[in-house]
Amino acid sequence: MRVSSLQPRLLLGPGPSPVSERIREAMARPTLGHLDPQFLGLLDDVNARLRTLFGTRNQTTFPLSGTGSAGMEAAMVNLIAPGDQVLVGVNGVFGTRLAEMGRRMGAEVVTVEAPWGEILPEERLIDALEAYPGARLLALVHAETSTGVLQPLEQVGAWMREREPLLVVDAVTSLGGVPVAVDAVGIDVCYSGTQKCLGVPPGLSPITFSEKALGRVRSRTAAPSSWYLDVSLIAGYLGSERRYHHTAPINLIYALHESLVEVEEEGIEARYRRHREVGRQLQEALGERGFEPFAQEGHRLPQLTSAYLPDGLAEAPLRRRLLEDHGIEVGGGLGPVSGKIWRIGLMGEGARRSSVDRLVAAVDSLLERDV
C-alpha cells in the first residue's frame, strides 16, 4: 500500500476533522529548524493568536507537542503531587480519563458524577468544593466529546476565582467552535486539541496557564513526574532564553498558524455562528428522519451531535455502509452508549452546509434501502 492509494473521506466524526487546502499547503512548506529565528517568530505569533482565541492574557500560552490527551496530562501532572485531594467532574469518557490520570499521579480523587448525556449542575460542583475544602483543584470537561454535552462553567468559575482550588478545563472539542473565555470564566489551566474545530491534523495541544496556576507549579517541593510535560522546562524554550527542551513539530505549527489566520479572517463570532447554524440544521434534519437526541436539551454542542438511530436500525452496520458506500465517516457511541448512538462532528472546515447536505442525502439513501 502507498499513501497515494488512500481514498479521501469526508470526516464528520468526533475527530479528526477535515483539513482545508490552505492548511495542507502551509504544512508542505520547507521545514525550518526549531531554533531558527524565522520559526521562533512564527511560534510567538501562534502563541499570541492562541491567547486571543482562548480569551486570555496568560503569557504561558502555547501549542504543546502532543495530542489533546497530552494537554490533559500536562495540566494534571504539573498541578498534582502525590497525596493531593482533587475533584473531577465525570459525565463521560474524558471526565473518566481525567480521574484516572489523577489516580495514577497518586492523588486522592473525588468524583462528582452525572449520567452520560447530562451536564454536571454547577450548584453540585460548588457543594462538592465546600464539602472538600482541602481540594487542590477541580477538573471539568467543557465539551464532552463522548456525549455531545456543553458544560456550563460560569457559576463555578466565579465561586472559585478568589479561592485556593484551581479550575482545570478540557476544551479539546470546544476551542474554535464555541466561546471558551478563559479569563472571563476564571479558568486556571485550559487545554485543547488541534484536530477538532481548528481543522489541523492531530499532534498539537494548545494550552494556557494562569499566574495562579504557575504559582502552584513554582511552589512544588518536587518536580512533576513527567519531564516532557514539565511546563517550567517548556517555558524556557518559549521565553527569551530559548533553551532547548525538545524538537517542536515544525510543520504542524505551520498548520496551526494558518488555521489561526483563517479564524482571524473569518472573525471569531462569525465562526461561532457558522458552527451554531450548521449544527442546528443537522439536528433538525436528523429529527425529521427519526433520530432522537442523546444530549440534554439546552446543553447540546452544535459542533458534535449525538443521537439515537431510528428504531430497528443497527448503528454499526449502517455507519460502515456510510463510510464504504458514501465515503463519509461518523462516530459511534462509547461506554454505556456503545452501539446505540452516532456522534456526528461538524467542526472547523467540516462545519459547512455542504457537509450537512451530503450527509443527509447519504443517510436518506441508506434509510430507503433499510425500509
In the numeric block, the cell 450537512 is attached to: 356
Q: What is the mean pLDDT of residues 13-35?
A: 98
Q: Is the pLDDT of residue 199 over 80?
A: yes
Say which range, 51-65, 206-220, 232-246, has the weakest mean pLDDT: 232-246
Written as one letter, the residue type at 268 is I
Query: What integer is the mean pLDDT of 140-167?
Result: 98
What are 108's strand-pairing partners? 85
The mean of the pLDDT values for the chain is 97
Question: Are 113 and 91 in contact, with CB atoms under 8 Å apart?
Answer: yes
Summarize pLDDT for 38-48 with one digit per residue, the tens. 999 999 999 99
Evaluate whether 311 touches 288 at the Cβ level (below 8 Å): no
Tell me the H-state helices in 186-238. Answer: 211-218, 231-238
By residue count, the chain amounts to 371
Q: Where in the chain is the domain with CATH 3.40.640.10?
A: 21-264
State the average pLDDT over residues 161-185: 98
Confidence of residue 369 (pLDDT cuts 50, 70, 90): confident
Q: How confident is the model at residue 302 (pLDDT cuts 50, 70, 90)?
A: very high
Task: Tell me what percent of the residues of the chain surpass a pLDDT of 70.
Answer: 99
Residue listed under C-alpha cell 496568560 = 58
Mean pLDDT of 115-120: 99
User: How do the residues of the chain divide into helix, strand and coil, expressed in percent and rounded to 5?
Assistant: 45, 15, 40
Residues of the chain with CATH 3.90.1150.10: 7-16+268-370
pLDDT at 124 over 90: yes
In this predicted model, which residue has the larger pLDDT, 236 or 261? 261
What single-letter DSSP state applies at residue 194?
T
pLDDT at position 268, please? 98
**Cis bond leading into 249, ω under 30°?**
no
Class of the 7-16+268-370 domain?
alpha beta
| pLDDT confidence of residue 239 | 83
Question: In the prediction, which pLDDT does 180 show?
Answer: 98
Report which residue type is found at 209.
F
DSSP string covering 88-104 = EEESSHHHHHHHHHHHH
Whether the model pTM is above 0.85: yes
CB-based burial, 312-346: b 16+ in 10 Å, e otherwise: eeebeebbebbeeebebbbbbbbeebeeebbbbbb
Q: Look up residue 46 and give its amino acid.
A: V
pLDDT band at 370 (very low <50, low <70, confident <90, very high): low
Is the predicted pLDDT of residue 312 greater than 80, yes or no?
yes
Lowest-pLDDT choice from 17-21, 75-79, 222-226, 236-240: 236-240
Q: How far apart are CA 113 and CA 356, in angstroms?
A: 33
Distance CA 113, CA 91 (A): 6
Please answer whether residues 72 and 170 qualify as being in contact, where contact means their C-beta atoms are separated by less than 8 angstroms.
yes
For residue 11, the cross-strand partners are 329
Alpha helix ranges (H) inside the chain: 21-27, 37-54, 68-79, 93-104, 122-131, 154-160, 182-185, 211-218, 231-238, 250-266, 268-288, 315-326, 353-370
State the average pLDDT over residues 69-76: 99
- Alpha carbons 34 and 81: distance in angstroms, whole number: 32
For residue 371, pLDDT beyond 60: no
CATH of 21-264, one of 3.40.640.10, 3.40.50.2300, 3.40.50.720, 3.40.190.10: 3.40.640.10
- At residue 32, the 3 state secondary structure works out as coil
Cell triple for 281: 440544521
272-282 pLDDT, tens per residue? 999 999 999 99
